[in-house]
Chains A and B, each alone.
Chain A
Amino acid sequence: MEDKDFTRRQMVQRMALAIGGTLIAPTVLLESCSFDPDTTMAGPARLAILDAIAETIIPRTTTAGARDARTGAFIDVMIRDCYYPDMQEKLNAGIQEIAVEGKKAIDRPFEEASQMEREEFLRGYDKAAHKDGDHFFRTIKDLTLLCYFTSEEAATDGVVNYNPIPTRYDGCAPVDENTKVFYANI
């Protein structure tokens, strides 16, 4: 098992090299990662706060939101299984800070606040993460987008133009106001 995981991790790293790009997340490949929808390891309070943060970034509109895509559980698993301890600490401290400071600022638990209230509060974190790539909120946003935009919910709701078997390539297709990011590879 250990050997198999090692090979897979190496392959992912090699792939990133070979395509000349960078992996968006996880930024640190410590262990092999798998999305385990069994969330029994994380308490309901932690999942609620993570879902609330993710939903603030990607809310439900006419299409599914981050909570619908179980983004909180995904972020929890990624933090637990895919980052080095120092990064885990940084992320967990940041999440804790949002819970505590958010409650103070909004005057009720962050996860119970309205979308507008939560957005108002997180805007400062987003600004800070925009300036500083090492800010914990950059990673939370990264994981939120990764989970949501590769989720079944985003695909089936037409948030992205998910087409697993395109069968053809058109290098010059027209764009209109409904054109969404084309996604063949989830």
Chain B
Amino acid sequence: MWGRQSYRWNREDFLANEKEGIATPWPIGYDDIAPWYEHVERHAGLSGSHEDMDVLPDSVYLHAMELNCVEKTAAERIRKSFDEKRRLIIGRTANIAISHKGRTGCQYRNKCWLGCPYGGYFSTQSSTLPAAMATGNLTLRPHSIVKELIYDKDGKKAKGVIVLDAETNMTYEYTAPIVFLNASALNSTWILMNSATDVWEGGLGSSSGELGHNLMDHHFRVGARGTWEGDEDKYYFGGRPTGFYIPRFRNWGDDKRDYLRGFGYQGAASRSDWRRGVREMGIGADFKDSVSRPGAWNMGMTGFGEVLPYHENMISLDMTRTDKWGLPVLEIDAELKENELKMRTDMRQDAVDMLEAAGFKDVYGWETDYALGMGIHEMGTARMGTAPTNSVLNRWNQVWDAPNVFVTDGAAMTSASCVNPSLTYMAMTARAADYAVSELKKGNL
């Protein structure tokens, strides 16, 4: 599922591992990726407001969507109560409200998850596939499972891929001068693990000892909710495809906590609808009339926290279990540790504090079970690094052991930040693709 929330990483996100001695340093910094953020933002079309905050660098926006009246009041009060350090801003999303590159703007239907027939948000179907088709160089081959890369021992590079047709079970070889793995973090890693196993038992990229390790996600399912008194004469019209965002404020500036890194919040204020009638007492005509009118305003927020890269949080091939194509399945062994658990206490309490400071009533914090992976932001299992001994990929996302293989999805991430990751994958992919083309032209690949 593509939630469309789109945020740039900040400068510190790329420096934190090195400064804090966590895992391994990033081989690139904010300045390396900033022009590529801009490149993909201009292609995708983003919605967001310019806030000029170091913690959450602005993107290139086509426009900003609007906070509703209660969110605006809450934003004002939170900003004042916390000395400008906590800010509630409109969520930054890959929805377009105006036409952009032949796509129609958002119709505010609140149906994004069905796939948008208007192309109202950036997606493979609305944006990148049409662009790729337009080059005349794209061949789509559906029902293809890439089993492994074909590795050329002598040339020390990949010659192509072996594809298993999911419907016929036939295998095919496709050759190419370069290969990009973008199968999603865990599956790109799975392909590497199944490749060149005659040279390295653990697969291509395993010589570092890091392939499959350092699995990350964003931990969430903790936050707070409260009820608003007043503004009963105000309501909203239309389904806004984003909520608000509160950027990280913990361990930022002069704030210091007993854990590392931080978290942001996503949330929204809304008025209850007929669904409140399930809990309320009442049946009959008056009840019917009452629940068909907007109820009280309320606001909730959910924290999204950074997970550190732990070597022991890992995936591996389970050779004892295979899927219907006889391919080994992945075993996942990962958990939150003390740093994240400490952070969750703040994620709950800070949300309560902000809602109370904003004037909400009946505020309550909540937390429900979270397991690594629920955030569907898997990262880190073929990370980038500064040397073949500490990482699978170099600063251009090339596999150290096969430089014509590029991995540019979540697997490449050396740390996780606390913001939604897709925009960073996109920027990194564009950067690596540009580099690959230039190297290919120079005859280096």
**A interface residues, Cβ below 8 angstroms from B:** 11, 14-15, 17-18, 20, 24, 56-59, 61, 115, 119, 122-123, 126-127, 130, 133, 138, 141-142, 145, 149, 154, 159-160, 163-175, 179-185
How far is A168 from B107 in the complex, measured between Cα atoms in Å? 6
Q: Who on chain B is nearest to A65 by CB?
A: B288
B102 in the interface (beta carbon within 8 A): no
Please name the residue on chain B nearest to A141 by beta carbon.
Answer: B278
| B233 x A127 contact (CB < 8 A) | no
B119 in the interface, Cβ–Cβ < 8 Å?
no
Residues in A whose Cβ lies below 8 Å from that of B223: 20
Q: Which of A15, A163, A181, A184 contacts B294 (CB 8 A)?
A: A181
Q: Provide the bound-state CA to CA distance between A91 and B56, in Å.
A: 51
CA distance A20 to B285 in the complex (A): 32
Query: Is B353 an interface residue, CB under 8 A from the partner?
Result: no
Asked if B110 and A171 sit within 8 Å, CB to CB, the answer is: no
Residues in A neighbouring B294, C-beta threshold 8 A: 175, 179-182
Starting from the known contacts A11-B1, A171-B236, 4 additional A-B residue pairs (CB-CB under 8 Å) come to A59-B284, A169-B236, A184-B110, A185-B109
Query: Given A145-B277, A165-B107, A166-B109, is A175 in contact with B1 using a C-beta cutoff of 8 Å?
Result: no
Partner of A160, one of B68, B71, B237, B292: B292
Q: Is there an interface contact between A183 and B68, defined as CB atoms closer than 8 Å? A: no
Write the nearest CB–CB distance from B87 to chain A, whole angstroms: 18
Chain B residues with CB under 8 A of A123: 283
Contacting pair B277 A141 (CB below 8 A): yes
Could you tell me if B283 and A122 are in contact, using CB atoms closer than 8 angstroms? Answer: yes
Of residues A58, A149, A169, A175, which shows the largest number of chain B Cβ atoms within 10 Å of its Cβ? A169
Instruction: Indicate if the CB atoms of A172 and B283 lie closer than 8 Å.
Output: no
On whether A138 and B278 interact (CB within 8 A), knowing A15-B1, A168-B108, A180-B293, the answer reads yes
Evaluate whether A169 and B65 lie within 8 angstroms (CB atoms) in the complex, with A15-B113, A138-B278, A175-B234 already known. yes
CA distance A133 to B280 in the complex (A): 11
Chain B residues with Cβ under 8 A from A185's Cβ?
109-111, 239
Q: How many A-B residue pairs have CB under 8 A?
A: 150
Chain B contacts for A126, CB-based, 8 A: 281-283
Across the interface, which residues of B come within 8 angstroms of A127, CB to CB?
281
Point out the residue from B234, B278, B282, B292 that lies within 8 Å of A181, measured CB to CB.
B292
Q: How far is the CA of A174 from the CA of B287 in the complex (A)?
A: 23
- Say yes or no: A171 contacts B69, CB within 8 Å: yes
What are 15 A-B residue pairs whose CB atoms fall within 8 Å in the complex?
A: A15-B113, A17-B374, A20-B300, A56-B283, A59-B284, A119-B284, A159-B292, A166-B237, A167-B107, A169-B65, A170-B236, A172-B69, A180-B292, A183-B273, A184-B109
Contact B288–A58 (Cβ < 8 Å) = yes
Given contacts A14-B376, A17-B221, A179-B235, contact A142 B278 (CB under 8 A): yes
In this complex, what residue of B is CB-closest to A17?
B374
Q: Which B-chain residue is minimally distant from A115 (CB atoms)?
A: B284
**Taking CB as reference atom, which chain B residue is nearest A173?**
B237
Q: B232 touching A175 by the CB < 8 A rule?
A: yes
Q: Which single residue of chain A is at the shortest CB-CB distance from B242?
A: A169
Q: Are A145 and B274 closer than 8 Å at their CB atoms?
A: yes
Q: How far is the CA of A105 from the CA of B233 in the complex (A)?
A: 44
Query: With the chains together, A165 CA to B239 CA distance in Å?
Result: 9
Interface residues on B, range: 35 or more
CB-based contact A14/B1 at 8 Å:
yes
How many Å from the CB of A137 to the closest CB on chain B? 10
Contact of B235 with A173 in the complex, beta carbons under 8 Å: yes
A171-B291 contact in complex given A24-B278, A123-B283, A166-B238, C-beta closer than 8 Å: no
User: Which chain B residues border A167 with CB–CB below 8 Å?
Assistant: 107-108, 238
Tell which of B71, B238, B281, B287 touches A170, judged by Cβ atoms closer than 8 Å: B238
The answer to whether A169 and B292 have CB atoms under 8 Å apart is: no
Identify which of A167, A181, A185 gathers the most chain B CB atoms within 10 Å of its CB: A181
Residues of B within 8 A of A169 (CB): 65-66, 108, 236-240
Which 10 pairs from chain A and chain B are nearest by CB? A171-B68, A169-B238, A166-B238, A184-B239, A172-B69, A181-B273, A170-B237, A130-B281, A171-B66, A185-B110
B292→A164 contact, CB < 8 A: no
**Once the chains bind, are A171 and B278 in contact (CB under 8 Å)?**
no
A82 CA to B288 CA in the complex, in Å? 26
Q: Which residues of A contact B280 (CB under 8 A)?
A: 130
Say whether B288 contacts A171, CB under 8 Å: no
- Indicate whether B141 reaches chain A with its CB closer than 8 angstroms: no
A143 to chain B, nearest CB (A): 9
Cβ-based interface call for B302 (8 A): yes
Closest to B278 in A: A142
A59, B285: Cβ atoms under 8 Å? yes
| With contact pairs A165-B109, A171-B67, A171-B240 given, residues A179 and B293 touching in the complex (Cβ less than 8 Å) | yes
A149 and B237 CA atoms in complex are apart in Å by: 18
Report if B275 contacts A (CB, 8 A).
Answer: yes
Given contacts A169-B66, A184-B108, A184-B238, contact A61 B292 (CB under 8 A): no
Cα–Cα, bound, A122→B281 (Å): 11
Question: Are A175 and B233 closer than 8 Å at their CB atoms?
Answer: yes
* Neighbouring B residues of A180 by C-beta, 8 Å: 292-294
Complex Cα gap A56–B113 (Å): 35
With both chains docked as a complex, state the minimum distance between the C-beta of A159 and any C-beta of chain B, in angstroms: 5
Whether a CB of chain A sits under 8 angstroms from the CB of B279 is yes
- Which residues from chain B contact A183 at a C-beta distance below 8 Å? 273
Q: How far is the CA of A138 from the CA of B289 in the complex (A)?
A: 19
Contacts of B277 in A (CB 8 A): 141, 145
The answer to whether B235 and A182 touch across the interface, beta carbons within 8 angstroms, is yes
| Most chain A Cβ neighbours within 10 Å, of B1, B71, B72, B223 | B1
Q: Give the complex CA separation of A17 and B153 in angstroms.
A: 46
Contacts of A174 in B (CB 8 A): 233-235
Contact B292 A149 (CB under 8 A): yes
Q: Does B3 contact A (CB under 8 A)?
A: yes
